[in-house]
Structure 1
């Protein structure tokens, strides 16, 4: 019996990154306690947690900088314990602090690091020009890094980590200390890398950053994974969406309240703001309520769905917000 070629499903690609029961102890303290996850190629995993949750320690184990107490990890199919040289050849790493030399120019930093990678000079010059252009640093390429802004230094640090065109990139809190504009610019750069096929593991304590960039999120607290899933899946764990209606006339609050109650949800009224809030199953509820309000002639200034934030998720899972956690491990 023959099988048509177009009916055979393609084999799934192996994970670009795997953490397998990673554990790291420092004396009696356990910084990372049995962390496991996988990252498909060409996607972004956000490793989310407060300071001291174990994010940096996890990254250090996965990038061969720290040996696990037990467990292991694979990067681009290579084991960090049995094949660390291949792991380093197939990954890039940008740490929390920029590692570029402040006394050199941007272009000189690229040449120095490229030389350490063994990249030939003529090829390195071409790559360097491409990276400076990609990261909007061409005009600053011949200036000493000491004169760069924080955002420019982070972009140069990221550019240097891409000199060897690694398929996997680890970013340990890459936007810490950046102003909102610099952070947004760096997000755009990272989206471009993913569009080109790079796999990213991003550690962050910024909930908005994980929401903006990550396809999947692993929430870690006190060295353990407490939840994982897509941003939407995690938000759903924190509760249902809320339907929020602001009526144009305070006199319409009572009839509007009765209409929202038809969804079966409890309705909360803020008279001063002319606002009604009720839990909702999603867009269908909003469309239904909007139709009822229109048919009843009730004027509306605003209507929309409000979903739980990732901060709400973290509060639900741990009992505290990310910024409230005490430091346990790096």
Structure 2
């Protein structure tokens, strides 16, 4: 079966900035694929090359076995694109927007308006786009990308700036879209989002892909300690260290006055010790996450 996306050695430079530096990746049909990275990692430029919006300086890209550049009319009906910033026609309602987008692909008005119901916006068909909330505008943007029933959907940070409820609702929609057999490629800064939604993720930095794997595989490879926290007071950090040393359990213990935190690769004996000391109040157990993987690969320094 032809891969939905196949890219080899993509490069793109803007003056002194090497935005994309030898990116190679393959995305299978029906896969939910995430592209992660800090600001300036090259995520958006990579997607724009794959979408046929930018010409690479070097390398090759294929979408369903066809080159997206120069703009390929045979590919346009097969892909949908939701850009990082939503842009709608001025002074048009949500219904008028979706009908206009649909007409570009020969989609009837009735089919286009039905897509608003698909994304939960039917009651806002008469509302002008600029009056929609952030979550509603993002749903309209996705509806416009889906109106012609594409096989492949590109989503560039679709949940940025949304409140937790709007994000979760959008996640449900994206799961449904993928479950229908569509290939979804997502860029996001929300690591929990990628961990929950994506079959595989590629972590990018400085224009290069550092690792590509399922989130669970990346987390297991990190081999990070388990972190257990309980309320301060029932057990001091010094006493905890003494008890752990007596059992031969390697652990790092810290107490900030609010929580006693114990980091260890052998959590079983630690839980037993806490239970014996009646110190389980407020217990939280946290393993590694995709965020830990991301920070290990890309570093912790702040970037604009």
Alignment match of 1:182 (pick from 132, 147, 166):
166
Give the equivalent residue in structure 2 for 1:208.
Answer: 192
Measure the CA separation in 1 of the matches of 2:232 and 2:292. Answer: 30
Size of the aligned set, in residue pairs, is 303
Measure the CA separation in 2 of the matches of 1:191 and 1:311. Answer: 21
Measure the CA separation in 1 of the matches of 2:134 and 2:220. Answer: 36
Residues 1:133 and 2:113 are matched in the alignment:
no
Deviation at 1:153, TM superposition (A): 1.4
Measure the CA separation in 1 of the matches of 2:75 and 2:172. Answer: 27
Flag the 1:309–1:163 CA change in 2: closer, same or farther, 3 A: same
Give the equivalent residue in structure 1 for 2:144.
Answer: 160
Flag the 1:154–1:269 CA change in 2: closer, same or farther, 3 A: closer
Residues 1:51 and 2:51 are matched in the alignment:
no
The CA deviation string for residues 157-200 of structure 1, in whole angstroms up to 9 with x for no partner, is 11011111111100112222333332222222111111211211
Give the equivalent residue in structure 2 for 1:8.
Answer: none
Counterpart mapping for 1:1-330 below 5 A: 13-81=1-69, 84-119=72-107, 121=108, 124-125=109-110, 127-236=111-220, 238-246=222-230, 250=234, 257=241, 260-261=244-245, 262=247, 264-270=249-255, 272-273=257-258, 275-280=260-265, 285-287=266-268, 289-291=270-272, 294=275, 296=276, 298-321=278-301, 324-326=302-304
The CA deviation string for residues 60-79 of structure 1, in whole angstroms up to 9 with x for no partner, is 11011111111111223322
CA RMSD of aligned residues (A): 2.8
Flag the 1:237–1:98 CA change in 2: closer, same or farther, 3 A: same
What secondary structure sits across from 1:78 in the alignment? coil
Deviation at 1:93, TM superposition (A): 0.2
The ranges of structure 1 where at least 4 consecutive aligned residues each deviate by more than 6 angstroms after the TM superposition are: 252-255
What secondary structure sits across from 1:300 in the alignment? coil
Measure the CA separation in 2 of the matches of 1:300 and 1:263. Answer: 21
Contact 2:92 2:129 in 1 (8 A): yes
Q: Which protein has the larger Cα radius of gyration, Structure 1 or Structure 2?
A: 1
Flag the 1:255–1:21 CA change in 2: closer, same or farther, 3 A: same
Measure the CA separation in 1 of the matches of 2:243 and 2:226. Answer: 15
The CA deviation string for residues 214-251 of structure 1, in whole angstroms up to 9 with x for no partner, is 22221111211122222233334555132415278635
Measure the CA separation in 1 of the matches of 2:146 and 2:203. Answer: 27
Gaps of 5+ in 1: 1-12
What secondary structure sits across from 1:186 in the alignment? helix
Flag the 1:50–1:276 CA change in 2: closer, same or farther, 3 A: closer
Gaps of 5+ in 2: none
Deviation at 1:44, TM superposition (A): 1.7
Q: Which moved more, 1:194-203 or 1:255-264?
A: 255-264
- The alignment's TM-score, normalised by the length of structure 2, stands at 0.87
- The alignment's TM-score, normalised by the length of structure 1, stands at 0.80
Measure the CA separation in 2 of the matches of 1:83 and 1:154. Answer: 26
Contact 1:49 1:221 in 2 (8 A): yes
Measure the CA separation in 1 of the matches of 2:235 and 2:189. Answer: 44
